[in-house]
Amino acid sequence: SGYWLRSTGRSALPSGIAPGAAARLRRCASSSVSIPPPRCLLGPLEAPLRYMFGPGPSNVPPRILAAGGRPIIGHMHEEMFEIMDDIKQGIQYAFQTQNNMTIAASGSGHTAMECALFNCVEPGEPVLVAINGIWGERVAEIARRIGADVKTLVKTPGGYFTNEEIEQALAKHKPVLFFLTHGESSAGLVHPMDGIGDLCRKHNCLFLVDSVASLGGASLFMDKQNIDILYTGSQKALNGPPGTAPVSFNDRACKKMFSRKTKPVSYLLDMTHLSNYWGCDGKPERIYHHTGPVSGFFALRESLAILAEMGLENSWKLHKEVAEYLHEGLEGLGLKLFVQDKNLRLPCVTTIAIPVGYNWREITQYVMKHHRMEITGGLGPSVGMVLRVGLMGYNCSKTNADKVLVALGDALKHCHKSKV
Ligand code: PMP
C-alpha cells in the first residue's frame, strides 16, 4: 500500500501542493486505504479567466457569483421557499406568463427538456418535432426513448418552417405535442412564433418551445403566443452558472400531464412531486422530494432580479443592437453571416459561414490561445458549416463585440489559408 508514495517521493509532489499535504500523504502509507488521495487534488484549483463569447455558458457577473457563494441554507427552510417563490415570479416575468405551474428544474437545459416530455407524453402517443438544428434532433431522441411515436418536420440548419407547413403536418400526424426551438443556437436562427400556438390549439395538440438560447435576448410571450410549455436554461442571457432550468406549464399542459394513465418514467422529474416542492399544488405542506441546488437557486434568483431591473424590452433591444453592430463588423472583415434573412438572425448567437480556405478548428483554437476567448464551431448538423459567437446578457456590449472583431481579424491574418 506504500508503493505509490515510495515511487513518487516527496520531491515529486506538484509545486503548488498545500502545506501539510505531503505529511498527510506519508501518513496514508500506513493507513487502511489502498487508493491514495489523488495528487492532482492536493494542488490548487485552476480555473482561468476567459471571455465566454461562444453559445454558452456566458460569463457570470460578480453579483450573481456572490449570490451563489452565500452560505447554504436548507432546501426546506422557510427562507428557501421564499427564494423559490421569488424565482417563480421572475420566471413568470421572463416568460410573460401567469402560469401557476412554473418552476426551475434541478439541472441543465436538458433537464427541463426531459421534464416537459416525460410529463406531457405517454408511450405510444404521436409527437411532432420540428428539426432545423441539433435541438429538434435531441428532443426527437428523448421522445423516442420514452416510447413516443415520433414524426419529424426537417430543414437543414438555418431553415425555418412556415405556418402552412406546420399546419399540414399537424393535420397529417395528429400529434399530442408539437416541439419547436425558438432560438436555434446550432444554426443561429430565431424562429417566428406568431400563429403557431393557435394552430396547435386548432389541432388539439400541446405546443412545446425551447427558449434556452433566446430567453432575454429575443422577444417571446408565452401566454400571448399560446405556448403551452416553455423552458430555458440559466447559463446564457440569464448569466447564471449552468445547472438550473426554468420551465412553465399552462392549464392545458397541466390537464394532460395530471390525467396520465402511466407514471412518468423519471421520479426526479415527476411534476406531481415537483409541483409540491415548488408550492404550485395548492397544498399547505411541502414534502421532501429531492435536495434542490441551493446555491444554484440563489444565483438564479439574482439572474432574474437583474433581468427584472433592466426590463425585458430593454434587454431585447440591447441584444438586437449589439448583434447588428457585430454583424456589420463581421461583414467589414469580409466574413459572411450564415443566416441570410436579417429578421431570422438570433441576436444571442451569431453564426458565421466558415471563411473559404480556413480550418474552423484552427480559428477557434487561435482565438482561445491568443485572446483567451471562447468562440466555437457548429454543433450537430451545423458542424463544419459555421463559427458561433454569443454575446448574451452581461456579455452583450459593443465593447465586447469589438473584442470579438479584433480577435477574429487577428485569426484571419495568422491562421493558415489554403489556396482555393
Ligand atoms: N436548447 C438550446 C437551444 C440550447 O442552446 C442548449 C444549450 N446549448 C440546450 C437546449 C441544452 O441546454 P444544456 O446544455 O443546459 O442542457
Side-chain-facing half-sphere of 109: CA atoms under 13 Å: 24
Q: Please, are residues 345 and 391 in contact by the beta-carbon 8 Å criterion?
A: no
User: What pLDDT score was predicted for residue 9?
Assistant: 42
Joined together, the cell numbers standing for residue 39 give: 495528487
Q: What are the distances in angstroms from CA 161 to CA 129, 189, 192, 196?
A: 11, 12, 9, 10
Joined together, the cell numbers standing for residue 410 give: 487577428
pLDDT at position 33 over 60: yes
User: Using a 6 Å cutoff on CB, does residue 55 contact ligand 1?
Assistant: yes
| Mean pLDDT across 239-264 | 98
Residue nearest ligand 1's atom 13 by CA: 109
User: Using a 6 Å cutoff on CB, does residue 212 contact ligand 1?
Assistant: yes
Ligand 1 centre from 132 Cα, in Å?
Answer: 14
Give the angle 406-407-411 at the CA atoms, nearest 5°: 115
Phi, psi of 265 (to 5 degrees): -65, -25
pLDDT at position 187 over 50: yes
Q: Give the model's confidence band at 402: pLDDT under 50 very low, under 70 low, under 90 confident, else very high.
A: very high
Cis peptide before 347 (omega within 30 of 0): no
Q: Please, are residues 231 and 222 in contact by the beta-carbon 8 Å criterion?
A: no
User: What pLDDT score was predicted for residue 171?
Assistant: 98
pLDDT at position 169 over 70: yes
Q: Give the model's confidence band at 31: pLDDT under 50 very low, under 70 low, under 90 confident, else very high.
A: confident
Phi, psi of 381 (to 5 degrees): -65, -15
User: Using a 6 Å cutoff on CB, does residue 185 contact ligand 1?
Assistant: yes
To test ligand 1's pocket by mutation, which of 185, 211, 232, 382 has the most ligand atoms within 8 angstroms of CB? Answer: 185
Residues, the chain, total? 420
pLDDT at position 10 over 80: no
User: What pLDDT score was predicted for residue 16?
Assistant: 56
Beta strands in 5-123 (DSSP E): 51-52, 101-106
Q: pLDDT tens across 280-292, in order?
A: 999 999 999 999 9
Closest ligand 1 atom number to CA of residue 235: 15
| Mean pLDDT across 50-66 | 98
User: What pLDDT score was predicted for residue 322?
Assistant: 98
| Mean pLDDT across 362-388 | 97
- Where is average pLDDT lowest: 13-22, 55-64, 140-149, 240-249? 13-22
Query: pTM of the predicted model, to two decimals?
Result: 0.93
Nearest one of 196, 168, 238, 254 to 390, comparing CA atoms: 238
To test ligand 1's pocket by mutation, which of 52, 106, 110, 137 has the most ligand atoms within 8 angstroms of CB? Answer: 110
| Mean pLDDT across 106-111 | 98
User: What pLDDT score was predicted for residue 30?
Assistant: 74
pLDDT at position 395 over 70: yes
Joined together, the cell numbers standing for residue 408 give: 477574429
pLDDT at position 319 over 90: yes
Q: Please, are residues 387 and 364 in contact by the beta-carbon 8 Å criterion?
A: yes
Q: Please, are residues 357 and 417 in contact by the beta-carbon 8 Å criterion?
A: yes
Ligand 1 centre from 233 Cα, in Å?
Answer: 7
Q: pLDDT tens across 68-100, in order?
A: 999 999 999 999 999 999 999 999 999 999 999
Express as a percent the part of the chain with pLDDT over 70.
Answer: 93
User: What pLDDT score was predicted for residue 2?
Assistant: 40
User: Using a 6 Å cutoff on CB, does residue 210 contact ligand 1?
Assistant: yes
| Residues contacting residue 173 through CB under 8 Å, at least 6 positions apart | 126, 128, 151
Rg (CA), the chain: 24
pLDDT at position 5 over 60: no
Q: Give the model's confidence band at 7: pLDDT under 50 very low, under 70 low, under 90 confident, else very high.
A: very low
Pairing of strands 206-210, 349-353: unpaired
Closest ligand 1 atom number to CA of residue 56: 8
